[in-house]
Amino acid sequence: MKTEIRLTAALMVLLLTSFTLSCDSSSENNETSLSYLTSELDRNLNPDASPDEKSALIAGNTDFAFEMFAQLTDSDENIIYSPYSLSLAMAMVWGGAAGNTAAGIADAFHYTLANDRFHPAFNAVDLALRGREYIDPENGKKLDLVIANAFWGQIDYHFLETYLDLLALNYGAGIYELDFMTGPDACTDTINDWINIKTRGLIRNAIQRGTINSNTRAVLTNAIYFYANWIYEFSKSATSFDYFTLADESTITTETMHIEESFRYNETDDCLSVELPYAGNKMSMLVVMPKADYMTFESGLSRVSLDAVAFELKPARINLSLPKFKIEYAIDEVNSKLESLGMIDAFDPSAADFSGITGGRDLYISDVLHKAVIAVDETGTEAAATTVVVFAETAVEPAVPVTVDKPFLFFIRDMETGAILFMGRVLDPRGDY
């Protein structure tokens, strides 16, 4: 774990594939050497999106975050994933979908705005998040947030100008040309190199060889890099091995950090909550620990309940004990989980309609993968996530003791908009430090 914190939030890769046999061994692994097609339009840096439209977008994204989380909680594993990466990448896909395919994606991801209002609203939210970057010239504490999008298309394959316009205007993306047909492994290496660069080396080999094959016609990538220090860092000398009670009521010992500081905090009959701000005081980690049965509390989670928790937070002097933790997690059978949320036709070769991308109904999603990792220690947070979708494409007061010593949830959120970059749970915080 480095002294400065690098949170690589999330990476979404969508592979779009046609039905006909269709990557290139001659493609260079240098982004600047690739052939690049783009719209004549520049990204709209002042999108026309009302506060109500942006709020509706965030509400939908948060509803999706909890519905997907519910699909992941049927095991006794720790969890980490990035709902924002999934939603942002699929927003670009949705822009090229039509008919029942578009309706199914909108249902699964809770896209409630009309298409012509949705993309400007997403652009506005995305630009707001990018504006959270911060560095303190006195102590060097920082928050970096880089969000990069790219579309990788089969050379000489037909992609609509209207789709290029949509990607450029709202997501700052164009099309890199590759030859998937003749060199799928080289194409895989090229895209993995792009991901590696955009995530500052935190995500390597995101796409396994064989995922891209001769049927691939395009790959849509989104990479999010987040690097942040706590405003109030924990002293490493105060870290000790303390007790933690697991969900089954057994007890373990784990490395636990300690700090006394002013945080926003709330305690109810059901749970205690504390918010740990990152440098710049624009983003934070919200920790929510149920007091009684963890699983019962988790099953009642929703956007409304999270908003209620966040609304009740008030500044207080806190003597906080928080476990260090590290989670590596991969979502199994993402396709079926999205299908259960209403996204069905996109996976069906005979029903998928991505005619807004190519003008024909020759693309469908064949597989979706998602992996993520997070580590929390005294200096801050480091995390990374990858998603692959194969289309065949302060006044001092007496300190309040707050001890997080039972299974808990965490949400890395933008404090102004409420956008959830990461969420997860810690059932057992023991890890390799």
Q: Determine the Cα–Cα distance for residues 340 and 84; give it in Å rounded to an integer.
A: 19
Q: Are 121 and 48 in contact (CB under 8 A)?
A: no
**pLDDT the model gives residue 31:** 57
Whether residue 73 contacts residue 423, with contact meaning beta carbons closer than 8 Å, is answered with: no
CA dist 285 and 275 (Å) reads 6
CATH class, 236-324+396-426 region: mainly beta
Q: In the numeric block, which tokens belong to residue 88?
A: 């942002």
Rounded to the nearest integer, the mean pLDDT of the chain is 86
The token pair that represents 171 in the structure block: 């997501």
Helix (H) or strand (E) holding 48: none
pLDDT of residue 268: 92
Rounded to an integer, the average pLDDT of 374-397 is: 72
Long-range contacts of the stretch 308-312 (C-beta < 8 A, 24+): 309/266, 309/271, 309/273, 310/273, 310/275, 310/286, 310/413, 310/418, 312/266, 312/268, 312/273
* Residue ranges covered by each domain of the chain: 7-229+327-391, 236-324+396-426
Q: Which residues of 38-64 are buried (b: 16+ CB within 10 A; e: fewer)?
A: bbeeebbeebebeeebbebbbbbbbbb
User: Of all residues in the chain, what percent carry a pLDDT higher than 70?
Assistant: 89
Question: Could you give the CA distance from residue 315 to residue 313 in angstroms, rounded to a whole number?
Answer: 7
Give the residue carrying structure tokens 């806190």: 318
pTM of the model: 0.85
Does residue 126 carry a pLDDT above 60?
Answer: yes
Which residues, at least 6 apart from 346, have a Cβ–Cβ distance to it below 8 Å?
A: 93, 97, 101, 104, 105, 352, 354, 364, 365
Task: Give the span between the Cα atoms of 387 and 230, in whole angstroms.
Answer: 27
- Each residue of 358-379: pLDDT tens digit? 898 988 887 777 777 788 899 9
For residue 295, give both structure tokens: 């699983």
Report the distance separating Cα 105 and Cα 338, nearest Å: 9
Pick the CATH number of 7-229+327-391 from 3.20.20.210, 3.30.230.10, 3.30.497.10, 3.30.200.20: 3.30.497.10
* Dihedral Cα 109, 111, 297, 288, nearest 10 deg: 100
- Ranges of H-type helices in 78-210: 83-94, 99-109, 115-130, 161-171, 184-198
Predicted confidence at residue 433, as pLDDT, reads 47
For residue 263, the surrounding DSSP H or E stretch is: strand 251-267
Better-scored residue on pLDDT, 398 or 205 = 205
**Lowest-confidence range among 103-112, 189-198, 319-328?**
189-198
Q: Give the per-residue pLDDT at 187.
A: 92
**Whether residue 40 has pLDDT greater than 70:** yes
CB 358 within 8 A of CB 158: yes
Q: Is residue 174 within 8 Å of 164, Cβ to Cβ?
A: yes
Question: 321: which residues sit within 8 A by CB, 6+ positions away?
Answer: 242, 256, 257, 258, 401, 402, 403, 404, 405
99 sits in the region (left: phi over 0; alpha: psi -120 to 50; else beta) called left
Joined tokens for residue 339: 């299908």
Residue, of 177 and 382, whose pLDDT is higher: 177
**Which pLDDT belongs to residue 33?**
66
pLDDT tens, residue by residue, 202-239: 778 888 899 888 888 888 888 878 788 999 999 999 99
- Encode pLDDT of 232-265 as tens digits: 999 999 999 999 999 999 999 999 999 999 999 9
Q: What integer pLDDT is reported at residue 308 of this predicted model?
A: 93
Q: Is the pLDDT of residue 69 over 60?
A: yes
What is the pLDDT averaged over residues 159-184?
A: 92
Per-residue pLDDT at 407: 92
Q: What is the pLDDT of residue 392?
A: 75
Q: SS3 of 114, please?
A: coil
What is the pLDDT at residue 184?
Answer: 93
